Amino acid sequence: MIYLVVLLVLVIAFLLVLKFGLLTDKDNDFIPDELEVLAEDITEDIMERAENVKEELKDVKKSAKNLAKQAGDVVEAASGKKRRGRKPKKK
> What share of the chain has pLDDT > 70, as a percent?
97
Distance, first Cα to last Cα, the chain: 83
d(CA 77, CA 3) in angstroms, rounded, equals 70
Query: Residue 76's pLDDT band (boundaries 50, 70, 90)?
Result: confident
Residue boundaries of the structural domains of the chain: 1-25, 32-78
The pTM of this model reads 0.51
Per the CB < 8 A criterion, the answer to whether 33 and 41 are in contact is no
Provide the pLDDT for residue 57. 95
d(CA 14, CA 11): 5
User: Per residue in 11-53, pLDDT tens?
Assistant: 888 788 777 777 777 787 877 788 888 999 999 999 999 999 9
pLDDT at 40: 93
Predicted confidence at residue 69, as pLDDT, reads: 79
Contacts with 34 (C-beta within 8 Å, 6 or more apart), sequence order: 23, 24
